[in-house]
Chain A
Amino acid sequence: MNVDALIEGLPRFVDGLMLTVMYAGVSLAIGFFLAIPVAMMRMSRNRVIYWSATAYITFFRGTPLLAQLFLVYYGSGQFYQELEIAGLWWLFREPWFCGLLTLTLNTTAYTSEIWRGGIQAIPHPEIEAAHASGLSSFSAMRHVILPRALGLSLARLYERSDLPDPGDVLGVGNIDHGHNGSRTEYSLTGFRVLRSVPVGGRAVSGARVRLYMDRTQDRSQTPPSPSSKPSC
């Protein structure tokens, strides 16, 4: 192992860690709340609502995150005219937005299933008691169902925070910028997972720095210019 390269790369690891923590934190926080309505939809008796939530969850839980990132980041590039008309291109052309969007959609899918499990684990009579005492559906949800579900699924939510791999976002960013920022022309040649480094372990839960490095890019001795870093 080349120790020098590791020491040299240390600042990049720290950068990566900060970015990872930020991506993980923001997406988990948004996903935590967004997952509640998705969980409700998944428990809906309306077939259309149920199936749309199920399709969404199955897709995001059933495909690799990296593939989803490619799909959103490069896929949206294919539709840039349409997105421009919709007035969304200024967002979709930004790597940070695509990264955050995908991570959020991904983590929402997982977290919604945790919420659902928690809600369904509540002894039904407790919910009945809430309704019987005249609480509105909202109050029952806010004061009885959700806090109770949270208590029941806290352990799993904590586990969840270890799962998202924002390092993948850096991976996509790196490939992209390795090719001068052209979004549609990219190749996977030389692209590989160098190492998965869990930093700080559980202390920074979810903060897994995974640096994807293009070897050829590293050897070309052209230090990445500030602009070639994935913006965030």
Chain B
Amino acid sequence: MMENNPERPVAPQQLSVKGLRKSFGNIEVLCGVDVEAAAGDVISVIGSSGSGKSTFLRCLNLIEMPNAGDISIAGEMLPLEYTKTGPRISDKRRLQQIRTRIAMVFQDFNLWQHKTIRENLTLAPVKAKGIDIREARELADRYLEKVGIAEKGDAYPAQLSGGQQQRAAIARALCMEPEMLLFDEPTSSLDPELVGKSSE
């Protein structure tokens, strides 16, 4: 189910996954996945529904705990250890720090419903990365414009259409200015014209 970009120049690996395994009960979803990617690579994972695409992505930032395997981001191993009782995070602080460098756009957006779109975009940059709030707001407005919903900054997620929410979620990820972006079906709610625009 994994498809990798073939010819890749040898460069410092941005992402390196070795022997990633994940099972839910008796069902083994990921059976030893190896992926390597350099900076600038775009990798698409294609597979039928239920084949573990989302699970794979969720393992990359340890939202889902894998049962085996090593993951390293920009040469830094994720603080994950496997004990007799199961996998556990060995260093929470470091994981949080690494997570600020990997942004994820979820399949169903998962915008925080109690916050306006602008607050959704600024929360993590301010609280997790420590960016100044004014700077974060400017950043937010810039990315909102980029995804074409500049006028929706003060709206709440529930006031937006599905497509607009998805674009807000993409903007939220971009606001983190991450080294790596994980998209879980990022264009499921977008019409084809917007897909092209958002991909840019």
Contact = CB atoms under 8 A, between A and B. Distances in A.
A2 interface: no
Interface string A141-179: 001100110010000000000000000000000000000
B61 interface: yes
A130 interface: yes
B174 to A, nearest CB: 12
Contact of A144 (B103, B106, B108, B112): B112
A63 to B, nearest CB: 35
Q: Which 8 A-B pairs have the closest CB atoms?
A: A134-B100, A134-B99, A133-B124, A134-B128, A129-B110, A125-B110, A139-B127, A132-B104
Given A131-B63, A136-B128, A151-B113, 19 more contacts: A123-B110, A126-B113, A129-B104, A129-B110, A130-B112, A132-B99, A132-B106, A133-B100, A133-B128, A134-B97, A134-B98, A134-B100, A134-B101, A134-B124, A135-B127, A136-B92, A144-B123, A148-B112, A151-B114
**Residue of A144, A147, A148 ringed by the most chain B CB atoms within 10 A:** A144
Given A125-B108, A143-B123, A143-B127, A133 B113 contact: no
B112 to A, nearest CB: 6
Nearest to A131: B63
A135 B108 contact: no
Interface string B70-106: 0000000000000000000000110011111101101
A133 B63 contact: no
Nearest to A138: B127
Contacts of B123: 133, 135, 143-144
Nearest to A151: B114
A151 B113 CA distance: 10
A8 interface: no
A47 to B, nearest CB: 15
B128 A135 contact: yes
Interface majority SS (helix, strand, loop, mixed), chain A:
helix
Contacts of A136: 92-93, 96, 127-128
Interface of B: 61, 63, 92-93, 96-101, 103-104, 106, 108, 110-114, 123-124, 127-129, 172, 176
A151 B97 CA distance: 29
Nearest to B95: A134
B3 to A, nearest CB: 24
**Residue of B61, B110, B111, B172 ringed by the most chain A CB atoms within 10 A:** B110
A126 B29 CA distance: 24
B73 to A, nearest CB: 12
Nearest to A136: B96
Contacts of A129: 104, 106, 110-112
Contact of B124 (A123, A126, A135, A147): A135
A175 to B, nearest CB: 47
Contact of B99 (A123, A125, A131, A147): A131
**Residue of A128, A133, A137 ringed by the most chain B CB atoms within 10 A:** A133
Nearest to A127: B110
Contacts of A151: 113-114
Contacts of A123: 110
Contact of A128 (B110, B113, B124): B110
A134 B129 contact: yes
Nearest to B173: A133
B103 to A, nearest CB: 7
A9 B129 CA distance: 63
Contacts of A147: 114
